[in-house]
């Protein structure tokens, strides 16, 4: 086999050149590899009518090779200008890449490898006029380049060598496939499992898509990157409200106002709104629950119902719920159970992130995906289609900076939305939309008390007014106020210059308050959250406080002076905060501050889809056999109405599951589960209680009412009293349920009853623990 290896930079010294030369030496006895340079190529100029000889010579070498390896550094999240120019020459008058198998590798100085550059190259190589056959998956990303090679140019890390060997084996097989089978990958790829459908992401949308695909006779593999007990995506953490409304025309007018002045897909919006009017019937017919109306059953008229009463059609806005409760994962548990009820049709893999979609380079059909399972990369065939339901990119710092314009945002929901759907969509040429749109929630127009990066923020309902009533205000990076602290909740959107938009995040904002305010906050026994007390910064003067919070002393001093003027006048001339929420700062210190962060509830952007949930390519045509639902590339283009995303999960999740399940082949395909060592259902295997040891006077109890599903306890009895309560299995949310998991068993033992007070802020977990204990006690009578 003969391969051409292109050094993707014109730099005199390059670690990518070192990598290609290492590959050449390592495979010298098996493969003839010709390392090609682009450093002497002229800059592409379309005015040149004649192809330069150096370009023709390069094209000839590529044309005569069986395949091509391109090794690239990453500059500004993309390939080098020199490499882009070379590809432009090689797709202008000459086309050596057409039908040519290509593998992309890369070396970078930083920690992330060349992931974004490789995505960039894949998009360009797939462009008309280039038309290369890019090997799916098997990315070789080498980071920390100065430490990666020894003095002889060899790779130091044995694991890197082993992964390179895996990638090279895959590529040589790929070259043989493309060369000898005309680019038809289906029969050539070694499939580790074959299903009708693959659903990537086990949240509300994924659960819905998998369930409806199964109801249409599809055998489904449902995968998620989250470990057991953390599946559920943002659906698990949401308020469990489904936006709905009885009047189609009014609701349509309302949503058109929400999306204005942005463009939107009229057919998709009509499908969405019609679905929302049918949600009560949906819950009865498909989820077997009696729907609850926020307006009619709960008489709930508050700041989210409707979120924009200024807009036409707001009168019909309602919420549909599965029961009379919110923020308790109730809807998620119903959707999750629908999946578990179909275990004969749906296999579930957790801790199994999707790495790449597998696309036929000629037809562009999505054949399946590569899933990482137990440290192995498995090729999963999806005969009739793949559904992407992996959520957004709330936990991807790079995407947040590039698409949202913030340095970092604190997530309120799942920690496993890493932008995988955006990345995989880009790799197969998907068109992106709504990438700059996101929602926040909580106090101060979407803020939380500061937590370390990588942790979830603690949501505080904006109805807790003491954080914006009194001698207290929000100071931006320089010490000035930058938003109305008591703004009505609109998922972080504020009104300025005729538009509603999310507040532009500051880097290190702080709440600033005086000693009287601090004392009142500490003494408030109704405070929903007190952990932040330990983070309070104190100083004798405003100037000293400014230095401690990295603000400009003169600006912060002027801000306090101005705030006092507004409070004394009884009117906030700057932002219009309610006059009864203003109090003059005490003249004498100390003064205090606490760090807060801007949060993100969810992002809305991703690969664009149509009303049939088909993901669209850059030219607007559907990518065959690829679908999506939920927040990934959702319909919400501008302002947001509470409950809209969960409604979208159910409405478009159903459409995606049904359309993905439709037979796409003219001949029967034999389905094949993965080898037994990979397992079939990670949840069902954990639900078996037979392995839990019981001694004399010990009893097991369980409840499925936890946020994470099943909670199992072991109760020990002695002298007709509860002697011990052990929680032997649970998958609750750690940052919320920790106190309940530790305190409730002690309370139950001390009071000899399961009827103890719940732990504040963990009502669902508390209820599950108490009911599991009651279940155990019922068995010892």
Residue range 530-547: mean pLDDT, rounded:
96
> Tell me, what DSSP letter sits at residue 78?
B
- Alpha-carbon distance 74 to 55, whole Å? 23
| pLDDT above 90 for 637 | no
Can you give the pLDDT at residue 182? 46
More confident residue, 82 or 704: 82
Between residues 178 and 470, the one the model is more confident about = 470
Biggest CA–CA distance in the chain, Å, is 98
pLDDT band at 555 (very low <50, low <70, confident <90, very high): very high
Residues 358-405: tens digit of each pLDDT: 998 888 999 999 999 998 889 999 999 999 999 999 999 999 999 999
Of 10-14, 21-25, 107-111, 590-594, the poorest mean pLDDT is in 107-111
Q: At what angle do helices 266-277 and 279-286 cross, to 10 degrees?
A: 60
Position 183 confidence tier, pLDDT thresholds 50, 70, 90 = very low
Residue 300's pLDDT is 59
Region class of 319: left (phi > 0), else alpha (psi between -120 and 50), else beta = beta
Give the model confidence (pLDDT) of 563-584 as tens digits.
999 999 999 999 999 999 999 9
Residue 685 has pLDDT above 80, yes or no: no
> What is the C-alpha separation between 140 and 163, in angstroms, rounded?
7
| pLDDT recorded at residue 674 | 83
Phi and psi dihedrals of 447, rounded to 5?
Answer: -135, 160
pLDDT in tens, 248-267: 999 999 999 999 998 899 99
Residue 594 has pLDDT above 80, yes or no: yes
Helix (H, G, I), strand (E, B) or coil at 772: helix
Better-predicted residue by pLDDT, 300 or 641: 641
Predicted confidence at residue 113, as pLDDT, reads 76
Residue written as tokens 């490898």? Answer: 113
* Burial zone of 595 (CB within 10 Å; 0-12 exposed, 13-18 middle, 19+ buried): middle
Beta-sheet strands, E only, within 228-312 = 242-245, 292-293
Bridge-based pairing of strands 510-514 and 432-433 is: unpaired
pLDDT at 269: 97
Structure tokens at 377: 């990369």
Query: What integer is the mean pLDDT of 292-315?
Result: 83
Q: Which domains does the chain have, with CATH numbers?
A: 2-181 (3.40.50.360), 193-438+602-678 (3.50.50.60), 443-599 (3.90.700.10), 688-777 (3.90.1010.20)
Per-residue pLDDT at 90: 93
Mean pLDDT of the 24-41 span: 93
Tell me, what's the pLDDT at 189? 83
Q: What average pLDDT does this structure show over 229-237?
A: 93
Has residue 46 got a pLDDT over 60? yes
Which has the closest alpha carbon to 125: 136, 135, 133? 133
Q: Could you write out the DSSP letters of every residue in 143-184?
A: --HHHHB-TTS-B--HHHHHHHHHHHHHHHHHHHHHHHHTT-
Mean of the per-residue pLDDT values of the chain: 91
**What pLDDT is recorded for position 293?**
94
What element of type H or E holds 677?
A: none
Q: Under 8 Å CB-to-CB from 364, ≥6 apart: which residues?
A: 428, 429, 617, 623, 624
Average pLDDT value for residue range 643-668: 93
Of the pLDDT bands very low, low, confident and very high (cuts 50, 70, 90), residue 666 is: low
By mean pLDDT, which of 338-342, 497-501, 768-772 is the weakest? 497-501
The pair of structure tokens assigned to 26 is 């390592």
**Amino acid 180: pLDDT:** 57
Contact criterion met (CB below 8 Å) for 364 and 375: no
> pLDDT category, 664, cuts 50, 70, 90?
confident
Quote the percentage of the chain above a pLDDT of 90.
Answer: 70
Q: Which of 98, 100, 102, 91 is nearest to 44 (CA)?
A: 91
Residue 181: is its pLDDT beyond 70?
Answer: no
The C-alpha atoms of residue 632 and residue 701 are separated, in whole angstroms, by 38
pLDDT digits (tens, 9 = 90+) for 714-760: 999 999 999 999 999 888 876 677 888 989 999 999 999 999 988 87
pLDDT at 475 over 80: yes
Is pLDDT above 70 for 184? no
479 and 445 Cβ atoms separated by less than 8 Å: no
- Indicate whether 241 pLDDT > 80: yes
- Angle formed at CA 55 by CA 50 and CA 56, multiple of 5 degrees: 75
Go through 511-527 and write b for each residue having 16 or more CB atoms within 10 A of its CB, e for each that does not. Answer: bbbbbebbeebeeeeeb
Stretch 620-649: mean pLDDT: 96
Cis peptide before 261 (omega within 30 of 0): yes
- % of the chain surpassing 70 pLDDT: 97
What sign has the CA pseudo-torsion 200, 355, 674, 196?
A: positive
Residue 304 has pLDDT above 70, yes or no: no
Separation of alpha carbons 143 and 8, rounded Å: 16
**Is 41 within 8 Å of 14 (Cβ atoms)?**
no
- Asked if pLDDT for residue 484 goes beyond 70, the answer is yes
State mean pLDDT over 139-162. Answer: 90
pLDDT at res. 748: 93
pTM of full prediction above 0.75: yes
């Amino acid at each position: 086999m003969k391969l051409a290896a292109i050094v993707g930079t014109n730099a005199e010294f390059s670690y990518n050149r070192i990598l290609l030369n290492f590959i050449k030496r390592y495979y010298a006895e098996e493969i003839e590899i010709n390392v090609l340079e682009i450093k002497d190529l002229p800059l592409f100029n379309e005015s040149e009518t004649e192809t330069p000889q150096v370009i023709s010579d390069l094209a000839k070498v590529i044309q005569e090779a069986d395949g091509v390896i391109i090794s690239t550094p990453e500059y500004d999240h993309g390939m080098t200008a020199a490499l882009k120019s070379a590809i432009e020459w090689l797709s202008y008058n000459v086309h050596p890449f057409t039908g040519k198998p290509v593998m992309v590798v890369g070396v970078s100085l930083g920690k992330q490898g060349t992931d974004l550059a490789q995505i960039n190259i894949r998009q360009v190589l797939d462009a008309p006029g280039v038309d290369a056959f890019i090997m799916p998956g098997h990315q070789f990303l080498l980071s920390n380049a100065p430490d990666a090679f020894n003095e002889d140019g060899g790779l130091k890390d044995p694991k890197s060598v082993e992964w390179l060997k895996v990638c090279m084996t895959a590529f040589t097989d790929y070259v043989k496939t493309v060369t000898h089978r005309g680019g038809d990958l289906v029969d050539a790829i070694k499939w580790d499992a074959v299903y009708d459908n693959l659903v990537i992401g086990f949240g509300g949308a994924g659960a819905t898509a998998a369930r409806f695909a199964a109801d249409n006779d599809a055998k489904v593999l449902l995968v998620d990157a989250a470990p057991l007990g953390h599946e559920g995506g943002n659906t698990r953490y949401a308020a469990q409200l489904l936006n709905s409304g009885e009047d189609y025309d009014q609701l349509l007018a309302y949503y058109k106002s929400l999306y204005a002045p942005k463009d939107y897909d009229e057919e998709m919006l009509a499908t969405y709104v019609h679905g929302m009017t049918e949600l009560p019937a949906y819950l009865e017919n498909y989820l077997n629950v009696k729907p609850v109306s926020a307006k009619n059953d709960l008489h709930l008229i508050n700041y989210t119902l409707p979120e924009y009463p200024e807009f036409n059609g707001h009168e019909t806005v309602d919420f549909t719920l599965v029961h009379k409760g919110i923020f308790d994962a109730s809807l998620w548990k119903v959707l999750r159970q629908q999946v578990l009820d179909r275990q004969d049709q749906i296999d579930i893999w957790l801790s199994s992130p999707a790495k790449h979609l597998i696309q036929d380079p000629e037809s562009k059909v999505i054949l399946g995906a590569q899933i990482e399972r137990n440290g192995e990369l498995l090729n999963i065939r999806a005969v009739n289609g793949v559904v992407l339901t992996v959520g957004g990119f709330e936990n991807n710092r790079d995407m947040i900076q590039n698409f949202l314009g913030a340095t970092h945002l604190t997530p309120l929901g799942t920690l496993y939305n890493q932008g995988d759907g955006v990345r995989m969509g880009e790799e197969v040429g998907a068109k992106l939309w709504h990438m700059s749109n996101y929602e926040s929630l909580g106090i101060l127009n979407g803020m939380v008390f500061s937590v370390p990066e990588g942790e979830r923020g603690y949501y505080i309902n904006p109805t807790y007014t003491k954080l914006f009533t009194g001698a207290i205000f929000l100071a931006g990076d320089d010490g000035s106020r930058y938003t109305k602290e008591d703004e009505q909740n609109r998922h972080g959107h504020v009104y300025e210059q005729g538009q509603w938009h999310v507040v532009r995040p500051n880097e290190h904002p702080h709440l600033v308050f005086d000693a009287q305010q601090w004392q009142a906050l500490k003494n408030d026994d109704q405070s929903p959250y007190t952990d932040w007390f330990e983070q309070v910064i104190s100083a004798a003067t405003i100037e000293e406080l400014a230095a401690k919070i990295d603000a400009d002393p003169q600006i912060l001093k002027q801000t306090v002076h101005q705030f006092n003027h507004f409070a004394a006048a009884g009117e906030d001339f700057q932002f219009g905060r309610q006059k009864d929420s203003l109090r003059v700062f005490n003249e004498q210190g100390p003064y205090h501050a606490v760090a807060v962060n801007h949060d993100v509830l969810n992002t809305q952007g991703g690969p664009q889809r149509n009303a049939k949930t088909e993901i669209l390519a850059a030219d607007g045509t559907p990518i065959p056999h690829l679908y999506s639902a939920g927040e990934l590339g959702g319909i919400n283009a501008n302002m947001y109405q509470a409950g809209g995303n969960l409604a979208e999960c159910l409405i478009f999740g159903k459409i995606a599951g049904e359309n993905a399940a439709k037979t796409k082949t003219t001949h029967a395909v034999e389905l094949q589960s993965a080898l037994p060592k990979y397992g079939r259902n990670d949840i069902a295997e954990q639900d078996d209680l037979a392995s839990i040891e019981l001694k004399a006077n010990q009893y097991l109890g369980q409840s499925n009412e936890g946020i994470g599903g099943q909670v199992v306890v072991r109760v020990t009895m002695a002298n007709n009293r509860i002697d011990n309560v052990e929680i032997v299995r649970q998958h609750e949310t750690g940052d919320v349920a920790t106190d309940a998991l530790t305190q409730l068993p002690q309370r139950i033992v001390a009071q000899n009853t399961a009827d103890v007070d719940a732990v504040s802020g963990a009502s669902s977990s508390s209820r599950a623990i108490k009911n599991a204990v009651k279940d155990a006690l019922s068995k010892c009578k």
